[in-house]
Amino acid sequence: METQFLTSLDEYFCAQYSDYVKLSALEGYEMPDVVSVGANGSIERKSSEVMRLCYQKNCGALLAKFKEGLADTEFTFNFLFRPFRDRMRDPFRKFTFAKVLPEALSHSGETAESAGEKLNISPKIWQKIVKGKLYPEKNTVIALALVTGMQQADVNNLMNVQGYTFEKESVRDIICEYLLKNGIFNTDMRDRCLAEYKINTLPIKRAEQAGDRNEAV
């Protein structure tokens, strides 16, 4: 029972992950038939979803091999510089990250200040993001949602205004989407899920970093 949440996470991942190049390269992966012959003799193409791990007979063994080769390659800086065109347009836009952020945080009982204390981001950089002088990278938005226990609708709003989506080809996106959808915000459970899939570049302040904020960006 203790690790049931990890089992559920694995099942979700196997049903969602769609980088078929990486999946088909796994030793023991059996390429399914992606075409079939209809009753009238016509050739019909099946959905590419049949290639996902959940449809493999040896799903568990393949997932174990997949995990062995995992490495977090989603590193980015915590922010993006705003293009000149956006700097000119932002004051007239109804929805920008900086404008949507306060309400999203309030739904989780957080403020920009309290949320920033849970992120491993320079306070100066975080304040510029809050004020709209810099844009947050996708890693930053996801980390923010996780550390504040953000509601799914608010997560979607913050992602949308930045032009981000949760991608089925990204291990990080699938694991973090699972945590957010299922409201898994307990620190130990969250960190175990992230560690299970080698996700270690999110700017989340760990317990050992409390009181010692990393100024690097």
Listed residue (151, 66, 72, 68) closest to 108, CA to CA: 151
Burial 92-113 (b: 16+ CB within 10 A, else e): eeeebbbebbeebbeebebebe
What is the pLDDT, as a whole number, of residue 63? Answer: 98
Query: Hey, what amino acid is at 53?
Result: L
What is the pLDDT, as a whole number, of residue 214? Answer: 42
What is the pLDDT, as a whole number, of residue 209? Answer: 53
3 state DSSP class of 204: strand
**Would you state the structure tokens that stand for residue 207, as one six-digit string?**
């317990």
What is the pLDDT, as a whole number, of residue 84? Answer: 78
What is the pLDDT, as a whole number, of residue 215? Answer: 41
Extended strands (E) in the chain: 35-37, 43-45, 79-81, 134-136
**Would you state the structure tokens that stand for residue 28, as one six-digit string?**
């023991």
Task: Classify strands 43-45 and 134-136 as parallel, antiparallel or unpaired.
Answer: unpaired
Query: Which residue do the tokens 């620190």 mark?
Result: 187
What is the pLDDT, as a whole number, of residue 211? Answer: 47
Q: How far apart are CA 79 and CA 172, in angstroms?
A: 18
- pLDDT tens digit at each of 217 positions of the chain: 458 999 999 999 999 999 999 999 999 999 998 777 666 767 777 789 999 999 999 999 999 999 999 988 877 889 888 787 887 887 777 889 999 999 999 999 999 999 999 999 999 999 999 999 999 999 999 999 999 999 999 999 999 999 999 999 999 999 999 999 999 999 999 999 999 999 999 999 986 555 444 443 3
Query: Which residue do the tokens 């608010």 mark?
Result: 154
Q: How far apart are CA 135 and CA 137, in angstroms?
A: 7
> Are the beta carbons of 29 and 61 closer than 8 angstroms?
no
| Widest distance between CA atoms in the chain | 70
Partnered with residue 44 across adjacent β-strands are 36
Q: How far apart are CA 83 and CA 93, in angstroms?
A: 15
What is the pLDDT, as a whole number, of residue 198? Answer: 96
What is the pLDDT, as a whole number, of residue 102? Answer: 97
What is the pLDDT, as a whole number, of residue 194? Answer: 97
